[in-house]
Amino acid sequence: MTASTGIGTPRTASPDLLRSVFRQHAAGVAVITASGERPVGFTATSLTSVAAEPPLISFGVGTSSSSWPVLAEAEHVGVHILGEDQRELAATFARSGADRFGPSTDWRAGPQGVPLLGGVVAWLICRVVARVPAGDHRIVIAEAVLGEPPDDGRPLVYHQGRFTALRD
């Protein structure tokens, strides 16, 4: 018995193959924020619930990211679940060189000095407990310490290289 699905010829794994496969994997969209000498943040589709007891989450961040130097030292991070109407906010935090905390972004300094974004579906403040090397990224594991539960908004989703909404 072979592992082939009959769809085509298998290819050797590469960054391009990984990206093309994961374009088919719909993922929720979050913005991760932290505060250092300046606030930083980035759009993440790698957010995962790790454990309920204690309440742990994880996300990946590239070590070449402009946010990494602050995240490498931050004791706390903000995790913001975006709503389907927040495509522009997701794009702002995904765009290299964007003024992420400029006048067009609704935010304030929250607990532990973590930047909190306004109008999101839900948010958590998390204490970083580990940073695990993973190729050109780090997997950050953090424990939720404070948050605001969902307001029943519909989530923003990333699929096939674009931000989109769930369909009924």
Q: State residue 5's pLDDT score.
A: 61
Digit-coded pLDDT (tens) for 94-133: 999 889 999 999 999 999 999 999 999 999 999 999 999 9
Q: Which domains are seen in the chain, by residue range? A: 15-159 (2.30.110.10)
Report the length, in residues, of the chain: 168
| Cα angle: 91, vertex 42, 72; to 5 degrees | 165
Helix, strand, or coil (residue 61): strand
The CA distance from 80 to 30, in Å, is: 5
User: Using one digit for the tens of pLDDT, what is the confidence trace for 10-69?
Assistant: 888 888 888 787 777 778 999 999 999 999 999 999 999 999 999 999 999 999 999 999
